[in-house]
Structure 1
């Protein structure tokens, strides 16, 4: 009894913050679409610290994870719980992206005022400290407030150090591990408790199997935050992750690797998943990210589907080779786009692609023209539009920073859905209008039906599914005025949670505005949901649906490529075809020479 009375509690509070909408309210949902990998990874690391008793055998570590995209964060309640149960605490704001930085700082204010230690990590801090020669003013201001900044990853015992420093009240202003990224093989299993996972739509979770990327895309932060040297988990790590989540009934995952096709263990991973499915009935559903060359890897698509991949996100980025070259996206070959997308389509997987608007060579006319070509000639399902944004941590941001070019000082806008720089060929108003129009042009009822018919032509495929997802994207953009990747089910908004410095509206005014906003949204939801449902059912019950075909689904020979608008009408398209034919001819000559040498050797 005496020993039990001496036990002490340490509260580890992990908060993955959201960011503010245009009215200054945190974007939070009753159920969110995309689970947080960072939160799962840090919860697993925290659990490992608890089991190893890193703070001593007489200290109980209590871990509370909060994903603010699906759970309102109430600092007052968190602090009251800590005070009620006693002990020490550390508030960790994790995975903080640039657009989430202002809100993360605002959350920290509450805890710091109560005397609780706060640490903050994520892509913004890591990216800035890895690419800029000085500490940016917003990060310095955060440290001056008392926030401890963490740059880097927390495996290999680094979380131990932070917890011990918090326990002994000696947190450093800055923990910078950007020059020493840890290995992740054998690292503690990323997972979350059932209560947290239940707030994800469809009871999904996420994990990574590799970090780092060898490519050099100038708009990307991953290569400068996670490094250009790839690091991997093992196949046994993968199995442990699947089994841990399977015990909680979680079998649907988003694998957050920036490019699963470049993970050197991809085949071992897929084989293990296939074994678990066939030998033990543990089947999983997976969303993965790949590059535009993945179809050239023998058996990659086939094994991916067999292993449970049903949706792939592809960094298409653009159909203009000049734009891709300017962004150092040299690995993307537009001459391979149709083959790659057709291969995924035939396999039955759903394809989602990122598409960037606002490259220096873009004009309103070229963007709208290219979108019509994509709709007609590429068998693509979801197209996600992003404004070209100099994200802190990217080469683009570093270049503009060094040149002293204006970039919007409000980090909350750095969500790829807001303009934060001036475009050289379009006015600010024209650029912003073109971005909005791109969503409307791609997600027309006619094109949603086209995509549904393309899927409906495949026996066993439900054409209502792509119609449903495309409609969901359209609803998020039109009704919620946010990027669909930030979407969820039932938006939650609270009067007192407004951005620091903005006035708290009177209760009557706030709720009157909220009521009007809700009515407006419900009308849009109802109209578009009904429209999408009718399209899906129309195609689903069409007796001739399996006979459908169009230009995007038809194979085009190498000698006919320049007849496609993708190559004939886009800037640089014709040159890309000419270059490919030259490369193919050179390879053919080399192969012929090798065959001749073998014949001569045989004689």
Structure 2
């Protein structure tokens, strides 16, 4: 049997960093590799011939020989996932769809695919393969139990063009113990984290080391969700890194309590973690309590960030506006907090009620879900709308305030201010993405020509301002350049998006203007 696994192209979003890949890191095409498809490939019978095509790094070969075509995707990819599935079905292929959105809303794929696989794939995918070999594939395979991650194989990273990705995705655990109202993770993977064994992790690291990979991203919903197992992992990674002379740099998603657990930040640093991504969401304590994100209320968020920076670890953050507690002042409060935090990679989203989440259920009961007929999937594509009717501000205030917030944060002066703030807080030299010396020099030349000089005197001045704190350690220069690259990629996306959404607003009736907003939510 021949199996073709396809990753649909992600729509342009905050997380695309397209400008950075075009202008500076020209040898890279996407931020992170598709771990889901690599895992499905490893679950496929050895007798099957498996090919993975990631549309984010190259075109789809519509004539590729295949008995089965599997198309995975998140909510943001739903439109393209459907297009790909229907096109292969028209060519007579048996099409299977899966992924996080198929798991939440399998009914949306009834007319799109021959088979829908929902939930985790470790048990359902082998059942599908066995049924297909017998000529009896079912239309739906639903995982209703709990997958033991000891049964999860080492993903087939070797089937991916790994040089095309800034980071390669790996996973230690699934699930999160918290109960954030808007999050679909607890719906999909549950609140009791499950983890792989250290032996499984070691086999995967050995494979990746043999493939020449250096930058890894733990895509766990919350790496520290199961603290005892996380401590075991970090101790193992420390030993592994020493044994292999710190071959890898790591990034991970964690919760804000990472700074309050004794010994955790030093352990992350010893293991060579470069950055952590934290859902900070809002400076409003009232909003955090409302959305059941109490873990963010137990410490001062700026003190939390200072503690992380003090260990030389960078912070990426996500922020949300539109909670019931938010009024029109939230935009200035978010702006001030983000600048004071020093966070440069700050993903800001309007609140969206994803299907099957506690938030969606509550707002449906309250009659506060906006009808989305004809637009439903545009809600998740990082571009158009929210389905939440705000309580304490008008829709026009929400749209205007949000657009102004992202515009202000994308300004060169504000990029420089945040980098300067971060450099003052860093207690140890931060880690950076591992690059060969020649490639580092090439990146620097491209940055100077295509970003710095192209930006004109105003950008030169702000870059110089941000570079001044690095005088104490010239090795910080590469960190400053890396942060400017992030900032300018976000700036390019923001400006283009503001332009295109302004055009969209001009094409709809005045009554609809309050519905056209910017949203860069990144569903898991």
Q: Same fold (TM over 0.5)?
A: yes
Answer whether contact 1:93 1:121 (CA < 8 A) is retained.
Answer: yes
1:190 equivalent to 2:188? Answer: no
Answer whether contact 1:235 1:272 (CA < 8 A) is retained.
Answer: yes
Alignment CA distance shift 1:230-1:441 (3 Å) = same
2:36 to 32, 35, 38: 38
1:371 to 331, 335, 338: 335
Answer whether contact 1:338 1:379 (CA < 8 A) is retained.
Answer: no
Q: Deviations over 1:411-435 (max 9, x none)?
A: 1331455322233344444323322
Answer whether contact 2:312 2:430 (CA < 8 A) is retained.
Answer: no
What does residue range 54-93 of structure 1 map to in structure 2 within 5 Å?
Answer: 60-75=47-62, 77-78=63-64, 81-82=65-66, 89-93=67-71
Alignment CA distance shift 1:371-1:361 (3 Å) = same
Q: 2:380 is matched with which residue?
A: 414
Answer whether contact 2:253 2:278 (CA < 8 A) is retained.
Answer: yes
| Secondary structure, counterpart of 2:58 in structure 1 | coil
Q: Deviations over 1:532-555 (max 9, x none)?
A: 676445543568658xxxxxxxxx
How far off its partner does 1:228 sit?
A: 1.6
Q: 2:110 is matched with which residue?
A: 143
Q: Please give the alpha-carbon distance, in whole angstroms, between the structure 2 residues aligned to 1:235 and 1:384.
A: 32
1:437 equivalent to 2:404? Answer: yes
How far off its partner does 1:181 sit?
A: 2.4
Q: Please give the alpha-carbon distance, in whole angstroms, between the structure 2 residues aligned to 1:158 and 1:445.
A: 49
How far off its partner does 1:149 sit?
A: 1.2
How far off its partner does 1:368 sit?
A: 1.6
Alignment CA distance shift 1:146-1:343 (3 Å) = closer
1:293 to 248, 257, 264: 257
Q: Please give the alpha-carbon distance, in whole angstroms, between the structure 2 residues aligned to 1:225 and 1:388.
A: 19
Q: 1:495 is matched with which residue?
A: none
| Secondary structure, counterpart of 1:262 in structure 2 | coil
Q: Deviations over 1:280-319 (max 9, x none)?
A: 3252111111111111211100010110101110110111
What's the TM-score, normalizing by structure 1? 0.67
Alignment CA distance shift 1:276-1:310 (3 Å) = same
Q: Please give the alpha-carbon distance, in whole angstroms, between the structure 1 residues aligned to 2:395 and 2:342.
A: 32
Answer whether contact 1:456 1:545 (CA < 8 A) is retained.
Answer: no
Answer whether contact 1:386 1:417 (CA < 8 A) is retained.
Answer: no
Alignment CA distance shift 1:459-1:329 (3 Å) = closer
Answer whether contact 2:182 2:354 (CA < 8 A) is retained.
Answer: yes
What does residue range 156-555 of structure 1 map to in structure 2 within 5 Å?
Answer: 157-177=123-143, 179-193=144-158, 195-201=160-166, 204-263=167-226, 264-333=228-297, 335-376=299-340, 378-401=341-364, 405-409=369-373, 410=375, 411-421=377-387, 422-457=389-424, 458=426, 461=429, 527-528=454-455, 535-540=462-467
Q: Which has the larger displacement, 117-126 or 533-542?
A: 533-542
How far off its partner does 1:183 sit?
A: 0.9
Q: Please give the alpha-carbon distance, in whole angstroms, between the structure 2 residues aligned to 1:403 and 1:542.
A: 51
1:17 equivalent to 2:8? Answer: yes
Q: Please give the alpha-carbon distance, in whole angstroms, between the structure 2 residues aligned to 1:454 and 1:463.
A: 17
| Secondary structure, counterpart of 1:281 in structure 2 | coil
Q: Which protein is bigger by CA-based radius of gyration?
A: 1
Q: Please give the alpha-carbon distance, in whole angstroms, between the structure 2 residues aligned to 1:543 and 1:389.
A: 39
Unpaired runs of at least 5, structure 2: 22-27, 434-445, 474-524
| Secondary structure, counterpart of 2:294 in structure 1 | coil
Alignment CA distance shift 1:166-1:298 (3 Å) = same
Alignment CA distance shift 1:310-1:145 (3 Å) = closer
Q: Please give the alpha-carbon distance, in whole angstroms, between the structure 1 residues aligned to 2:362 and 2:197.
A: 37
How far off its partner does 1:106 sit?
A: 1.3
Unpaired runs of at least 5, structure 1: 1-9, 51-59, 83-88, 130-134, 466-488, 490-521, 547-603
Answer whether contact 1:452 1:464 (CA < 8 A) is retained.
Answer: no
Alignment CA distance shift 1:225-1:17 (3 Å) = same
Q: Please give the alpha-carbon distance, in whole angstroms, between the structure 2 residues aligned to 1:373 and 1:425.
A: 21
Alignment CA distance shift 1:332-1:543 (3 Å) = closer
Answer whether contact 2:117 2:124 (CA < 8 A) is retained.
Answer: no
Answer whether contact 2:70 2:95 (CA < 8 A) is retained.
Answer: yes
Count of residue correspondences: 442
Q: Please give the alpha-carbon distance, in whole angstroms, between the structure 2 residues aligned to 1:524 and 1:249.
A: 29
Answer whether contact 2:5 2:52 (CA < 8 A) is retained.
Answer: yes
| Secondary structure, counterpart of 1:328 in structure 2 | coil
Q: Please give the alpha-carbon distance, in whole angstroms, between the structure 2 residues aligned to 1:296 and 1:280.
A: 30
Q: Please give the alpha-carbon distance, in whole angstroms, between the structure 2 residues aligned to 1:451 and 1:302.
A: 24
Alignment CA distance shift 1:152-1:368 (3 Å) = same
Q: Please give the alpha-carbon distance, in whole angstroms, between the structure 1 residues aligned to 2:201 and 2:460.
A: 37
Answer whether contact 2:417 2:466 (CA < 8 A) is retained.
Answer: no
Alignment CA distance shift 1:354-1:187 (3 Å) = same
Answer whether contact 2:209 2:247 (CA < 8 A) is retained.
Answer: no
1:152 equivalent to 2:119? Answer: yes
What's the TM-score, normalizing by structure 2? 0.77
| Secondary structure, counterpart of 2:191 in structure 1 | coil
Q: Please give the alpha-carbon distance, in whole angstroms, between the structure 2 residues aligned to 1:529 and 1:285.
A: 34
Q: Please give the alpha-carbon distance, in whole angstroms, between the structure 2 residues aligned to 1:20 and 1:294.
A: 31
Answer whether contact 1:295 1:343 (CA < 8 A) is retained.
Answer: yes
Alignment CA distance shift 1:534-1:41 (3 Å) = farther
How far off its partner does 1:459 sit?
A: 7.3
Q: 1:555 is matched with which residue?
A: none
